[in-house]
Homo-oligomer: A and B are copies of this chain.
Amino acid sequence: MRVLIAGVDGYLGWPLALHLRARGHEVAGIDAYFRRDWVAEMGSQSASPIRRMSERMAAFGEHFGTSLVFRRGDLRDYGVVKNMVRAFRPDAIVHLGEMPSAPYSMVDVDHCVYTQTNNIVGTLNILFAMRDECPEAHLVKLGTMGEYGTPNVDIPEGSFDIEYRGRKDRLPFPRQAGSWYHQTKVHDTNNVTMACRIWGLRSTDIMQGVVYGTRIDEMADDERLVTRFDFDQSFGTAINRFCAQAVVGLPLTPYGKGHQRRGFLPLRDSMQCLTLALENPPPPGEYRVFNQFEDVYDITELALAVQRAARNLGLEVEVRNMVNPRLEAEEHYYNPDHRRLLDLGYRPSGDMAAELRTMLADLLRWRGRIQSHVHALAPDIRWSGSREKCGYLP
């Protein structure tokens, strides 16, 4: 299969290129390196010493015997997208090329508008390029479990059968996102759904839980093949933050009461799921949704799991709750379905403790890179709009 990865320089895009190539697929990538800029703007850097794309491509060629087809380009430019699609003629496009941070989108009006236009326009350009150049191709797009928010009912995979006032229909499940970034994924969901309906495109939209981990097997201990690992307040997830805090000896900081519940899965399982979606495309015209995660954890449970894994490596850290810079439910019902990927053959690797051990061991090697940017861990981007460092809760 010929797979074009938009956002191939990112946390998921890079390992996906390795993983798909190892399975024999032809891979092309496009990226404008914006993620590197955004993280620098947050005063941080990847904990892992990721290489320039030229070095990454050289290592890719050495390992797999074929080069990665790569173009530097901005998805907001329709000519760039159309020409890339026309030249590579993909069977599938994996769209990972969006601005993925909730706090970054909440900084101010400029960051909000940038996030929404960047994400929406990139996706629209891909949809039009597909319609005009490769209408049979399969769009695998990254949504987020955060699109659904935290309703007081079960969360189905994308749509649900309802009965309302005695009549029945199958309708999209209501979305209630909690940041300007998360809203862009809802906007995408609506736009992509319509493109499938009116143009007969096919798409799998992956409502992804929080992905964690520093490696997949295909990286083969070659540090030139490592993927990025962000820990700053904007681009690091809670689990990344806890791991980074553990290796530099800082308290692990759940926000607020710390009983937010989210779905998680390791990086290697994310690769497995994306590959299953790619290798089992839906029929033309179908907009298909997968909820992609393995287990649901309460954020405090997660902090305690990181604390235990750190202790096993001789690192003693405490858990201290911090003022929540976000406005979100800190205690809520959470029971999302995640059946479809399992039905396609997803086998969860299932050992979070082992994965955390690997992550912490990797991060210990890169400890200096975290230590030198440790200020970036402290949150001050508040959903209220103020910019004030959050302190510990009493």
Q: Which residues of A are at the interface with B, using a C-beta cutoff of 8 A?
A: 78, 108-110, 112-113, 116-117, 120-121, 124-125, 128, 131-132, 151-154, 160, 162-165, 167-169, 171-180, 183, 186-187, 190-191, 193-194, 197-199, 327, 333, 383-385
Contacts and interface: CB of A to CB of B under 8 A. Distances in A.
A311 B160 CA distance: 49
A201 to B, nearest CB: 12
Given A152-B167, A171-B151, A198-B327, A116 B112 contact: no
A331 to B, nearest CB: 15
A176 B183 contact: no
A167 B154 contact: yes
Contacts of A121: 113, 116-117
Residue of A132, A154, A171, A177 with most partner-chain B CB within 10 A: A171
Contacts of A153: 162-165, 167-169, 171
18 contacts: A78-B113, A109-B128, A120-B120, A120-B187, A132-B385, A152-B168, A152-B169, A153-B169, A154-B164, A162-B162, A162-B164, A177-B194, A178-B194, A178-B198, A183-B187, A183-B190, A183-B194, A199-B384
Contacts of A193: 176
Given A113-B121, A190-B175, A167 B333 contact: yes
Contacts of A128: 108-109, 112
Contacts of A174: 171-174
Nearest to A383: B198
A383 B120 CA distance: 20
A183 B191 contact: yes
Given A152-B168, A153-B163, A153-B168, 15 more contacts: A78-B109, A108-B128, A109-B124, A113-B121, A113-B124, A116-B124, A120-B120, A152-B167, A154-B167, A160-B164, A172-B175, A177-B194, A187-B190, A197-B327, A199-B385
